[in-house]
Structure 1
Amino acid sequence: MKNTKLFLLAFALVAATSFSAFAQLQSPAASPAASVSQVVGFTKISIDYSSPAVKGRKIFGEIEKYGVTWRAGANAQTVIEFSTPISVGGKNLRAGKYSIFMTPAESGEWTVHLNSKAASVFTYMKDGKIDEEAVAKDDAVSFKVAPTAGNTERLQYHISAENNKVAKVTMAWEKYVVSFMVDTQVDQKLEQFKSQF
């Protein structure tokens, strides 16, 4: 009898603990957080973003309108960080964090914006959409890139080291692949180092 009571008490405790843990379990995020990093030359390049899925929807041209600036991800802003000064889009940028925005085009080139404030995307919201003038005002650099065709269910960023001096940063989602090159200025940094001696 005593053993039966102990067994029932132990069972009740296990059941209560399991129920409590299950009650705290939340559904997975629809657009889970993701990150990618790569060292190229002397520079570590990192990207933090959220990764939404297509889920049978028409993304570009419908959910993300052509000609309208987009946060290049989901949830919070997409942030790229450079550990040393670099050059991108024909402009030198300091080491640090930059928000990535993109303006998709139905045909022709997209505009990539690297925003100097790395501010919350909601800083730029106006009437439920991104205020393009406010984004452009804070651009450290913006430049045009020609997308290529793709087929990617879940938004992804990739960084490749190319010749270990220039990095290729790629965003792929739905039917588009958008890439841009980042010059990590290896030769200039070597020259600066040599000039110190």
Structure 2
Amino acid sequence: MKKITQFLLAFALILVASVTAQAQLQSPALSPAASVSQVVGFTKINIDYSSPAVKGRKIFGEIEKYGVTWRAGANAQTIIEFSTPVSVGGKTIRAGKYSIFMTPSESGDWTVHLNSKAASVFAYMKDGKIDEEAVAKDDAVSFTASTERGGNTERLQYHISAEDNKVAKVTMAWEGVKVSFMVDTMVDQKMEQFKSQF
């Protein structure tokens, strides 16, 4: 009798554990989290974003309308972080985190916004869309970025490259579009500052 009771108890525990494990298992995210980082000069550049898929859709011009500011990713805001001050779009900005927003254009010149509050994208929602004026008000810098067309990138991706270890090229690629901008890590200026201390 004791063995039967122990067997039933063990069976019940296995059953409960199995049901609990199944309840905790979730489907994979449709737009999984991704990140990329690179040290350029003295600066670490890190980008955290979500990576949606094209899935046969027309993205730019339809899902993401031309002339309408977009969060440059999915789910939460896309965040770029600089460990030291850098120059972007001709302006020096402090070390820290910035939200990336982009305004696609059919002409090929997109506007990139680096938002100084790094606030949630939902902080800028108005009538179901991003309030462009509110984003612009909190921009640390906004500038025009070059685009390339061709090929197909199924999942949105960010890349950071720096051939001279001074200036980084940050690229967002998705569908048949690549949008790039340069980040000057100001290596020479930082070297001069260091020398002037001695």
Pick the TM interval, shorter chain. over 0.9
What is the one-letter code of the residue matched to 2:95? A
Distance 1:8 1:160 in 2: 61
Secondary structure of residue in 2 paired with 1:18: helix
Distance 2:7 2:17 in 1: 15
Aligned match of 2:175: 174
Unaligned runs of 5+ in 2: none
Structure 1 segment 36-55 matched on structure 2, within 5 A: 36-55=36-55
Distance 2:4 2:55 in 1: 52
Post-superposition shift, 1:7?
3.8
Secondary structure of residue in 2 paired with 1:63: coil
The answer (yes or no) to whether the contact 2:146–2:181 under 8 Å persists in 1 is no
Q: Give identity over the alignment, percent.
A: 84
Distance 1:169 1:145 in 2: 10
Distance 2:193 2:6 in 1: 75
Post-superposition shift, 1:4?
5.4
What is the one-letter code of the residue matched to 1:156? Q
Give the aligned CA root-mean-square deviation in angstroms: 1.4
**What is the number of equivalent residue pairs in this alignment?**
197
Post-superposition shift, 1:3?
4.7
Post-superposition shift, 1:11?
2.9
Distance 1:23 1:59 in 2: 34
**Does residue 190 in structure 1 map to residue 188 in structure 2?**
no
The answer (yes or no) to whether the contact 2:87–2:93 under 8 Å persists in 1 is yes
Post-superposition shift, 1:80?
0.5
Aligned match of 2:140: 140
Aligned match of 1:78: 78
Secondary structure of residue in 1 paired with 2:111: strand
The answer (yes or no) to whether the contact 2:145–2:181 under 8 Å persists in 1 is yes
Secondary structure of residue in 2 paired with 1:189: helix
What is the one-letter code of the residue matched to 1:106? E
The answer (yes or no) to whether the contact 2:145–2:179 under 8 Å persists in 1 is yes
Secondary structure of residue in 2 paired with 1:61: coil
Distance 2:14 2:158 in 1: 43
TM-score (norm 1): 0.95
Post-superposition shift, 1:35?
1.2
Aligned match of 1:94: 94
Post-superposition shift, 1:5?
5.1
Post-superposition shift, 1:10?
2.3
Superposed CA deviations along residues 109-166 of structure 1, whole A, max 9, x for unmatched, are 1111111111111111111001111111111111112211241111111111221111
What is the one-letter code of the residue matched to 2:77? Q
Distance 2:171 2:3 in 1: 64
Structure 1 segment 102-113 matched on structure 2, within 5 A: 102-113=102-113
Unaligned runs of 5+ in 1: none
Secondary structure of residue in 1 paired with 2:87: strand
Aligned match of 2:9: 9
Greater shift, 3-12 or 51-60, is seen at 3-12
Aligned match of 1:163: 164
What is the one-letter code of the residue matched to 2:169? K
Aligned match of 2:56: 56
Stretches (4+) displaced over 4 A:
1-5
